[in-house]
Structure 1
Amino acid sequence: MSRVSVKTREDLPAELQPLWDKMTTYGAFENQAGVMAHRPPIFKHIWSMLVDLSDEAVLSKRYLELALVTVSLLNKCTYCVSHHAPKLAIQGVSEEGAERLLDYKDHPELTDDDKLVVEYAIAVTNNWNRTRDEIFVRLREHFSEAQIVELTWRTALCGAFNRFNDILQFDIEQGVVVRDAAE
């Protein structure tokens, strides 16, 4: 049960309600957004950025979901794994494959580029202050600088979401299958 109340679209100022409507096209994140709605600037800026990045699609959904599920597995965030593992399945990595992303080196469902994304998501999450230039040489072989910036930002932001979600303990939305990330 959520440690703070979950607001609805109607609780937002009228000028932010269209953003709520756009947010729902991103996925079933109403509880997360409803908690953010306690602070309209947080709701506005986070969801505007996420919707804009999604609309621009500089980074493929597959790479994005690989990074988000990896971070969420590392941080044991059941909320995020439950929401993003099915999105990764749409991108061609089975839910069983998503469960074992952290064992990426010999993962049969991942391409070499996929493995690089997972490796980088692990570095951003666990080794940000010890990551060497070598990984950036490899990243630049496959990604533009804009893609590297977005991949880095979205990975780091997902870590923040993991903490936000877990500390406030809001429920996973009805209809989303719970996938335990704590194993």
Structure 2
Amino acid sequence: MRRGTRSSSCSPLVSSTPPSASSRTRSSGAHRPGRARRSHPPLPEEVTLARIEPAPADVYGPLFGEDAPFRVQIYAQRPEIAQAFLAFGRALREERLLPDRLIELVRLRVAFWNQCRSCMAVRYAEGLEDGLTEALVCSLERPEEAPDLTDAERAAIAYADLAATDHHAISDETFDRLREDFTEPEIMELLFNVALFVGFGRMGAALHMVDDLPDRYRADDRVAPWGAREDETLVIGSWANAR
């Protein structure tokens, strides 16, 4: 995993309103993943900021390598389940019909709604190779108004927005819009990916796996994946693709 080199001038903070959910309000602490609510004394500084400790190196190392990302070290507390989860993610990559750029845009938009710091900080290499730029990531602040997104990307993001914020609002019309740009197999693939991003992104937010992230993703305030400086993204490449 290496530091990204792309930069952007769009706002790093945003108060986007979920679709079909403009009347909902969140408490001021809803996106503050710190340890203030814990009743026991503060943990020493050398202890992880995550809410679950990483597995011992002799557990994750033989299965995932000594260079396993921090989040995988934590998943390895249940190594058999972690292996199955990573195999699912590998299948989604290797059998992909949809453009890598589209999938990465959808992933980052869902990461914003989830406030998953370990999701927002990363960029997958295949998405970058397929044309993802930080200017495109900036378009995620207001995707329906973004001229540099394709109709297919806007439709996929619109579905992901509903799945992440108000899944009961998904309707026949939602799928009618998807069918304007996607085949049935492509729609099913999109749904598998969005389900992964929503569910496991929320798990990532709950775990607060920020130890290896740039400082902006450790802040208590609500953050966004857009507006990052060139030293504030992490590119995941060969490790993820090899496992």
**Shorter-chain TM-score: which interval?**
0.7 to 0.9
Q: Where in structure 2 are the equivalents of 1:1-183 lying within 5 Å? A: 1-7=49-55, 10-12=58-60, 17=63, 20=64, 30-84=69-123, 88-171=127-210, 173=212, 180=217, 182=223
Whether the aligned pair in 1 keeps the contact of 2:61 and 2:68 (CA below 8 Å) is: no
**Cα deviation, residue 91, structure 1:** 3.4
**Cα deviation, residue 162, structure 1:** 2.1
**Cα deviation, residue 141, structure 1:** 2.6
Of Structure 1 and Structure 2, the greater helix share is in 1
Fraction of identical pairs, as percent: 24
After alignment, is 138-147 or 1-10 more displaced? 1-10
**Cα deviation, residue 119, structure 1:** 0.8
**Cα deviation, residue 126, structure 1:** 1.6
1:30 maps to a residue whose letter is P
Q: Secondary structure at the match of 1:50?
A: helix
Rounded to whole Å, the distance in 1 between the matches of 2:69 and 2:210 is 10
Whether the aligned pair in 2 keeps the contact of 1:2 and 1:171 (CA below 8 Å) is: yes
Q: Secondary structure at the match of 2:145?
A: coil
**Cα deviation, residue 30, structure 1:** 1.3
CA distances 1:69-119 after superposition (whole Å, capped 9, x unpaired): 110111222211111387655433432431441411121321111111111
CA distances 1:117-176 after superposition (whole Å, capped 9, x unpaired): 111110111221111211211212322222212211211221222222222222353xx6
Unaligned runs of 5+ in 2: 1-48, 225-243
Whether the aligned pair in 2 keeps the contact of 1:72 and 1:80 (CA below 8 Å) is: yes
After alignment, is 133-142 or 90-99 more displaced? 90-99
Compute the TM-score of the two structures, normalised by the length of structure 2.
0.61
Whether the aligned pair in 1 keeps the contact of 2:104 and 2:124 (CA below 8 Å) is: yes
Rounded to whole Å, the distance in 2 between the matches of 1:8 and 1:110 is 43
Rounded to whole Å, the distance in 1 between the matches of 2:168 and 2:144 is 22
Compute the TM-score of the two structures, normalised by the length of structure 1.
0.79
Q: Structure 1 runs of 4+ off > 6 angstroms? A: none
Rounded to whole Å, the distance in 2 between the matches of 1:104 and 1:43 is 33
Q: Secondary structure at the match of 2:110?
A: helix
Structure ID, larger Rg: 2
Rounded to whole Å, the distance in 1 between the matches of 2:105 and 2:214 is 18
CA RMSD between the two structures: 2.8
Unaligned runs of 5+ in 1: none
1:4 maps to a residue whose letter is I
2:76 maps to a residue whose letter is A
